[in-house]
Structure 1
Amino acid sequence: MRVITQSKWAKQAAFTLVEMVMVILILGIIVVGVSSFVIFGTRIFVESSAVDQVLSQSRFGVERMTREIRSALPNSTRLLTAADGSYQCIEFVPVTASTSYVNAPIAPAATSNILSAIVINQTILAGQWATIYPLTASEIYNPTGSTAKRFLISNVSTSGDQVDLTFGASIRFTEASPLKRLYLTAQPVSYCVENQPNGTSDLTRYANYGYQNSQPAPTAMANRVIMAQNIINSLLIEPAIILTPSSLVTNAIVHIEPRFSVNGESFKYQHQVQVINVP
């Protein structure tokens, strides 16, 4: 039997300088390759996350805007574009409920503080506005005197299949609706595309700022909520919102065309929303 001494084991376990350098070089190449792969994968993840975030925001903002405009009061949409192209705002009056009236004070009949309508499943509340036969934005946003198209409801009472709306004073509506339509509305809502200091624009929503005769600028409205960011439209050259007004035979059409930017690339929405012209 052959016996190997400790010194013999030590001699066999040793390695040369050349071998050590080769191992270091091989490990270095492996580390560089693995790190490049990890960095590349991380970059792809970060960029895809940024794209997904912008896509999610843009879808939510455009979809929310589309749904609200679709339920706007007929002839209530109006568009304001700043002369310097710093913002665009589309304003409309949201319909909370609609029904048919049974008895209503309508000119030239005498004034009254009560309107009777058919009960519906939708809730009618004090603080909403009753609107009959709205034909122009001026009639909707700027009612005058005791004879107008829109009045604030002060009390609601229901009896059987009839609901009585009480107003704070004796009033009468300017015109009767051919089909006796009655719209119950809330305060106006505005969606604005506003330029930001970083060179992009935000899609913002404003509400609860009240009815105003002239369409207000963003600085005159309250309850600002950002719906989407990274819009890059040059608003005077490539408007993000275009309004085709209604006529006697056509509905109003709101064209929603914001262009979004992310990671040096851009994509554009092209939505058309009809506002039914059935007062």
Structure 2
Amino acid sequence: MARRNGFTLVELVIVIVLLAIVATISVRFVALSTGGAIDTGARQQRALAGVVISEQVTRALREALPTSVRTNGSCIEWMPTVAASNYLDLPRGSNPDSFEAVPLAGGQSANGRIVVYGYGGDLYNPSSPGPISPPATVPGGSSPVTVTFDGGATHRFNTNSPEKRFYVVSEPVTFCQSGRFLYRYSNYGIQSGIGASLSPAMPNRQVLAATLQANSLNFEVMPPTLQRGAVVAFEYVLEDTDSGETMPVRQEVQIRNVP
């Protein structure tokens, strides 16, 4: 009688167990590989977000007038520089409403507040005499131009610039953290305190980042001196809401403007 070839029940069970072990290891390996790829992608996204946020803050602060930068830690405020030139003579007389100046580069015009020197008073407490004027207009031209204060306003500056330099600045801008969000505020006017009355309405408030760890943003300002401009150091922590993984970021910005 011919012998029949086949598997015993024991052999079949052993094969099934071995296949199950191999399948479990394979699934686990694939899961770990996939999880590692996802974690790596998330870290790369956080690193890219850190670069973008830091670059946005850096570029914005480099346009600031050094003497206008102030902070309370989680918020920083400054007046962006629109243009700069040299004056020929500061406003004089009992009610001065204009002064003569060298034309702006390219003969362009500009509108904003005029700041002379900026070290002799509080830019956020406008007064006459003082370092910052009411809104003014610098006309375009190729010969000495007459800078006039808008609306018939008058102003006297309380000090001279060593280089006879003046700056045209726009209204203040503030970067401030609230929860996980970093906001940019504008068009709120000059206020005595940082963040005293910041409007939550668009377009006065814009979202710059939404992945910050709560209360992690901190600004430090080293005021300008006669030898160097202001230096701003800021740090924050980016946080993944799913994994809880964090990435600290720190950067410094030097604001190079002369008095």
TM-score range, shorter chain: 0.7 to 0.9
Relative to structure 1, is the Cα distance of residues 219 and 207 closer, same or farther in structure 2, using a 3 angstrom cutoff?
Answer: closer
Q: SS of the counterpart of 2:190?
A: coil
Counterpart residue type for residue 158 of structure 1: G
1:184-263 maps to which residues of 2 (within 5 A)?
184-194=168-178, 196=179, 201-217=180-196, 219-220=198-199, 222-227=204-209, 229-231=211-213, 240-249=218-227, 251-262=229-240, 263=243
User: How far did 1:120 drift?
Assistant: 0.5
Residue in 2 aligned with 1:158?
Answer: 140
For 2:103, give the aligned amino acid.
Answer: I
The one-letter amino acid of 2:181's match is D
CA distance in 2 between partners of 1:164 and 1:70 (Å) = 28
Task: Name the structure 2 match of 1:142.
Answer: 125
Matched, 1:268 2:248: yes
Which residue does 1:55 correspond to in 2?
Answer: 47
Alignment pair present for 1:79 and 2:58: no
Distance in 2 between the 1:66 and 1:147 partners? Answer: 29
**How many matched pairs?**
250
Cα distance, 1:254–1:79 mapped onto 2, change above 3 Å = same
Higher strand fraction (1 or 2): 1
Which amino acid is 1:74 matched to?
Answer: P
Match of 2:167 in 1: 183
* Aligned counterparts of 1:133 and 1:172: Cα–Cα separation in 2: 15
CA distance in structure 1 between the partners assigned to 2:231 and 2:215 by the alignment: 20
Equivalents in 2 of 1:159, 1:46: separation in Å? 59
Contact 1:124 1:184 in 2 (8 A): no
Percent identity of the aligned residues?
A: 28
Cα distance in 2, alignment partners of residues 52 and 218 from structure 1: 37
The TM-score normalised by the length of structure 2 is 0.78
Separation in structure 1 between the aligned mates of residue 12 and residue 94 of structure 2, nearest angstrom: 106
Q: Which amino acid aligns with 1:60?
A: V
Q: Of 78, 85, 88, which residue of structure 2 is paired with 1:92?
A: 78
Distance change in 2, residues 1:137/1:39 (3 Å) = farther
Q: Residue 84 of structure 1 aligns with which residue?
A: none
Q: Which has the larger radius of gyration?
A: 1
- 2-structure distance, mates of 1:90, 1:186: 16
Among residues 87, 91, 97, which one is paired with 1:101 in the alignment?
Answer: 87
